[in-house]
Chain A
Amino acid sequence: MKANPWLDERLRLASIEITRRCDNHCAYCEQPKEARDLPLTQCTELLDELAAEGFEAVALGGGEPTLYPNLISLLEEVQRRGLRAGLTTNARDPNQVAALADADLLHRFGVSAGKGSWQILAAHSRATVNLLLLRGGLPQVMAWTVEALRHHANCLLLLGYKGSSPAFVPTADELSSAFGLLAGLGRSAGITVAADDYIRRRLGLSTTCGQGFVRVNLDGARDDCCFPACEYRDKKP
């Protein structure tokens, strides 16, 4: 089986760790947390490199991107280079994120269900509600889904846990149920439902992942895999 030819509209997307600051304490999170940021000058150099390499979009993250001290300046630099910007937030400062999107500095943003004031952002036209599935977490994901629909969310994204702790890894059955339920609900409500490549590989729907994607950490190291412990790391075509 090949990569889905209908999903070939892949953005060349770089995920950049711009900060390690985070004001959430998620039990499953393995990202290092410290008061350290990627300086704006290094960011702009990196943006120049990425634009020259043909990247079309950047996703800003690492820790909580809204805690990055120069976020507006950084987004302006992104825009100046003709790149699209996205980020994922824990919605502790929903007004800031909404304002950035309304100012056209964010092409899209993800808001993690269950965190901060996520419901406030759910209905924003540029928002995607991220639904993270952990082992045993299917009821929670579906409860978030119902809440998101009640709050008029337009777009849902199902994500599988990516980390080294087996206790959090959802079973294939859980992934399959979440996939089927969300697709069914989404279609009946006329909203967009998406899933990540990792889930597709786990469900046997794709034999490739992460095409056009690169992750850049705070030290400038690049990786075309989305997390270190991924079982598909050495099975890329």
Chain B
Amino acid sequence: MHQLLVECSEPGLVIHLAEEFEHSLRHVDFDRAWTLRQQLTELAQECGPEFYQVWQGFRLEVPNDGGWPPSFGKREMTTEEIGTKEVLQEFLSRAEAHGLGEFRLRSTMLLPQDGPAPETREQYVRDLADGIRMAQWEELGLFRFPVDLPVSMIQHRKQLAEEWGGSVLHARAHHPDVGQRWVEESLARLRKALEQINTRSEAVMEYELDRLDPVKLDAVECIRWAAVAVRLGHGIEKWFQAAVEPLAYLYQRAALVSLLWTECRGIGQARPVLEECLEAVVEEAEGTYTADGVAALRRLQGDLRQTRWGSLRALTVDEDKDRDEDEGKSVAG
């Protein structure tokens, strides 16, 4: 339950990790982050020595809406070395009762966590960029790589696998051959079956990409279909728009680009769509994010282009050009 039923003038809503991160990108530049960090440390000291000790070394991850179990980094060390067992126990109880989300983005606020806090603006921008790239929207059960197929396609391919693969294996089980010869022959037949399964499932996926109306699907399914679209190079714009539409924050659009870029290795027909979106995000961010927030988006953009797939752009452009020329020649011929 995110909404608090308390305030008689207006409802209060729990601050979510995603909006806290958006807040950082909009309002917290490096200098401000340092100030906040100092203020937070002072406040932790004011809260009492136990609180401060825990603050120094304890990384708390509380159960979140995605139903993930709580994990507690440094728990043993803190308990044994600092001797704050009671405080930890209380925090554990609180975490179980009032869990809100994880702390993965906490380092962007320059708070000590797993590693050293960033000490330079460059490190801070790097943290922000990583925060965008690694955004894990557990609330949506998303951003596991690779992104799952849409549920209906999993079922369909499973059915095909049972029909085609099952019959091959069943037949091979009865075959009198033995040893390596049996293995090799079975593999060859299985390969043909898998190719059939793949061809048929791809055809169904393309058909479904054309047929389905994204409006009738939830946000998670739209992102799964967008991942299928960029992998197949089919229906990209339709499904990319569908996946972008429910996103509340600018950085989430960049995170989506990053995810889909990885799905299609940054090549093929999806590349220009993703490039265009990311450029638009950066331009929009220039009017709303801090300079460090914009720099983080630029850093992410650079990261994507520098991947081993990103550098293949020229190659794919040349290939497209060659293909166009060939098609032109054949038409002219």
A residues with a Cβ closer than 8 A to B are 1-7, 9-11, 13, 15, 17, 57, 59-62, 65, 84-88, 107-110, 125, 128, 130, 142, 145-146, 149-150, 152, 154-155, 157, 159, 162, 172, 176-177, 179-198, 200, 203-206, 209-210, 212-213, 215, 226-227
Chain B residue contacts of A17, Cβ below 8 A: 8
Contact between chains at B5 and A187 (CB < 8 Å): no
Query: Which among A86, A149, A187 is the interface contact of B6 at CB below 8 angstroms?
Result: A86
Given contact pairs A142-B43, A176-B27, A191-B98, A60 touches B1 in the complex (Cβ within 8 A): no
Check B10 for interface membership: any CB of A closer than 8 A. Answer: yes
Check: B128 CB closer than 8 A to any chain A CB.
Answer: no
Tell me which residues across on chain A come within 8 A of B65, comparing CB atoms: 6
Closest 5 pairs between A and B when the two form their complex, measured CB to CB: A61-B8, A110-B6, A86-B5, A226-B10, A190-B95
- Which residues of chain B are within 8 angstroms of A6 by Cβ–Cβ distance? 2, 16, 18, 65, 139-140, 248
Cα A15 to Cα B219 with chains together (Å):
32
Which listed segment binds A: B47-55, B78-86, B208-216, B324-332? Answer: B47-55
How long is the Cα–Cα vector from A154 to B98 in the complex, in angstroms?
8
B94 touching A189, Cβ below 8 Å: yes
Query: Could you say which residues of chain A place their CB within 8 Å of the CB of B98?
Result: 154-155, 190-192
A212 to B46, CA, bound (A): 39
B99-107, B149-157, B314-322 - interface stretch: B99-107
B1-51 CB contacts (< 8 Å) to partner A: 1-16, 18-20, 22-24, 26-28, 36, 39-40, 43-44, 46-48, 51
- Inter-chain contact B40/A11, CB cutoff 8 Å: no
Asked whether B10 lies within 8 Å of A196 as measured between CB atoms, the reply is yes
**Candidates A84, A172, A195; contact of B12 at CB < 8 Å:** A195
Return A106 CB to nearest CB of chain B, in Å. 9
Number of interface residues of B (CB under 8 A): 63
Q: Which residue of A lies closest to B91 (CB)?
A: A190
* Residues of chain A within 8 A of B71, CB atoms compared: none
Indicate which residue in A1, A57, A162, A196 contacts B5 across the interface (CB closer than 8 Å). Answer: A57
Given that A7-B13, A13-B11, A198-B10 are contacting pairs, would A181 and B5 also be in contact in the complex, using a CB cutoff of 8 Å? no
The residues of B that contact A60 with a CB separation of less than 8 Å are 8
B288 within 8 Å of A by Cβ? yes
* B44, A59: Cβ atoms closer than 8 Å: no
B46 CB to closest chain A CB, in angstroms? 5
Interface on B for A, CB 8 Å cutoff?
Answer: 1-16, 18-20, 22-24, 26-28, 36, 39-40, 43-44, 46-48, 51, 54-55, 58, 60, 62, 65, 90-92, 94-95, 97-101, 103, 106, 109, 111, 139-140, 219, 246-250, 288
Would you mind naming 13 contact pairs between A and B with Cβ atoms under 8 Å apart? A4-B18, A4-B248, A6-B139, A9-B1, A9-B3, A86-B5, A88-B7, A155-B98, A180-B109, A181-B40, A184-B109, A190-B94, A227-B9
Known: A177-B36, A180-B109. 4 other contacts (CB 8 A): A15-B8, A172-B27, A206-B248, A226-B10
Contact between A150 and B7, CB atoms less than 8 A apart: no
For residue A209, which residue of chain B has the nearest CB?
B10
Q: A1-B248, A87-B8, A146-B46 are in contact. Are A194 and B219 (CB under 8 A)?
A: no
Given A10-B3, A155-B98, residue A194 in contact with residue B51 (CB < 8 A)? no
In the complex, what distance in Å separates the CA atom of A146 from the CA atom of B44? 8
Residue pair B28, A176 in contact (C-beta under 8 Å):
yes
| Chain A positions within 8 Å of B11 at CB level | 10-11, 13, 59, 196-197, 210, 212-213
Task: Kindly list chain B residues whose C-beta atoms are within 8 Å of the C-beta of A204.
Answer: 26, 288
Chain B residues lying within 8 Å of A182, measured Cβ to Cβ, are 15
B8 and A62 contacting across the interface, CB-CB below 8 Å: yes
B100 cross-chain contacts in A, Cβ below 8 A:
186-187, 192-193
Q: In the complex, what residues of B have CB within 8 A of residue A212's CB?
A: 11
Q: Could you tell me if B51 and A149 are in contact, using CB atoms closer than 8 angstroms?
A: yes
Give complex CA distance A76, B15 in Å.
31
In the complex, A118→B100 CA distance in Å? Answer: 24
Residues of B contacting A206 with CB < 8 Å?
Answer: 248
In Å, the complex CA distance between A219 and B92 comes to 47
Given A184-B111, A193-B15, is A59 in contact with B7 using a C-beta cutoff of 8 Å? Answer: yes
Whether the Cβ atoms of A13 and B3 lie closer than 8 Å is: yes
Q: Is the CB of B10 within 8 A of A180?
A: no
Which residues of chain A are within 8 angstroms of B140 by Cβ–Cβ distance? Answer: 6
Tell me if B10 and A213 are in contact (CB < 8 A): yes
A88 and chain B: residue at smallest CB distance: B8
Q: Is the beta-carbon distance between B3 and A11 smaller than 8 angstroms? A: yes
Question: Is B4 a contact partner of A108 (Cβ separation < 8 A)?
Answer: yes
- B22 adjacent to A205 (CB under 8 Å): yes
Neighbouring A residues of B14 by C-beta, 8 Å: 192-194
Q: Inside 8 A of B3's CB, which chain A residues have their CB?
A: 7, 9-11, 13
B contact residues around A150 at 8 Å (CB): 47-48
**Are B2 and A7 within 8 A (Cβ)?**
yes
The verdict on A108 contacting B39 (CB below 8 Å), with A190-B62, A194-B14 known, is: no
